[in-house]
Amino acid sequence: MESQGRERGLHARLLASLGPAITAGEYPAGTVLRTDELEERFDVSRTVVREAVRVLESMHLVQSRRRVGVTVLPADQWNVYDPQVIRWRLAGADRARQLRSLTVLRSAVEPVAAGLAAELATPEQCAELTRHALGMVATSRGQQLDAYLVHDVAFHRVVLQSSGNEMFARLGDVVAEVLAGRTEHQVMFTDPDPAAVTLHVQVAEAVRARDAARAERLTREITAGAMAELDVLAP
């Protein structure tokens, strides 16, 4: 049992080294990573290397072939929706461009999802939206960004889930990583923009009132505000 725990720890450490290095371009596309070299460099067993490579393959960051080794794939083949890939990319030097790309995605999806939520959300989902919107209000002052983030992430998850569209709902983890990345890497003001906080409350009200057009418009204002913040904090 102890050896299994140690192997899991080594596996996590190897992933935490290789993943960010690949997404940051330290290993360009076409680079071949030899299993024996990885074993020696990171002082881990072949089993640990294989497990780490299997995870990287599932993200389409690498391809493993017998007699060739582990080849780094081009960025256009990566699973860019994988939350871990997003986390690694946000930790790299290309953070600003990644945040913009993800915010454009949010701008395209979330307003439509909010409009659908106004038509389809259950009373329980409406109540949950309101609860998290009020939680955002309660934590929006006094530099409580971590507490604010919990409600912010939950709010947007509910919007996507209550849209009734399973494709939108699956983007909950993506949006969560964007919001968490902004906080973790300090691409946020010390306290959230009061106007943005108010907009979240108004979206909850619009969804509860079954006003799809208003819910969509207000959510579009939220995503536009997020992009404007990037212009200031991550130009």
Give yes or no: residues 29 and 93 share one domain.
Answer: no
Digitized pLDDT (tens) for each residue of the chain, 235 residues in all: 555 556 678 888 999 999 999 999 999 999 999 988 989 998 899 999 999 999 999 999 999 988 888 999 999 999 999 999 999 999 998 899 999 999 999 999 999 999 999 999 999 999 999 999 999 999 999 999 999 999 999 999 999 999 999 999 999 999 999 999 999 988 888 899 999 999 999 999 999 999 999 999 999 999 999 999 988 887 7
Written as six digits, the tokens of 65 are 């072939």
Q: Tell me how far apart the alpha carbons of residues 147 and 143 are, in angstroms, rounded to a whole number.
A: 9
Give yes or no: residues 71 and 131 share one domain.
Answer: no
Residue 30's domain spans which residues?
A: 2-77
Residue 1: the pLDDT is: 54
Residue 176: the pLDDT is: 96
Give yes or no: residues 72 and 87 share one domain.
Answer: no
Which residue, of 77, 109, 125, is where some domain finishes?
77
Give yes or no: residues 72 and 94 share one domain.
Answer: no
Give yes or no: residues 143 and 185 share one domain.
Answer: yes
Residue 187: the pLDDT is: 86
pTM for the model: 0.89
Give yes or no: residues 122 and 56 share one domain.
Answer: no
Q: Tell me how far apart the alpha carbons of residues 106 and 110 are, in angstroms, rounded to a whole number.
A: 5
Give yes or no: residues 88 and 59 share one domain.
Answer: no
Residue 10: the pLDDT is: 83
Residue 87: the pLDDT is: 94
Give yes or no: residues 44 and 21 share one domain.
Answer: yes
Give yes or no: residues 220 and 119 share one domain.
Answer: yes
Which residue, of 56, 77, 98, is where some domain finishes?
77
Written as six digits, the tokens of 50 are 């294989």
Q: Give the CATH number, domain containing residue 97.
A: 1.20.120.530
**What are the Cα distances from residue 71, in Å, to 16, 166, 218?**
18, 34, 45
Give yes or no: residues 98 and 208 share one domain.
Answer: yes
User: How many separate domains does the chain show?
Assistant: 2
Give yes or no: residues 18 and 100 share one domain.
Answer: no
Which residue, of 53, 77, 101, is where some domain finishes?
77
Residue 158: the pLDDT is: 98
Q: Give the CATH number, domain containing residue 52.
A: 1.10.10.10
Residue 65: the pLDDT is: 87
Give yes or no: residues 129 and 168 share one domain.
Answer: yes
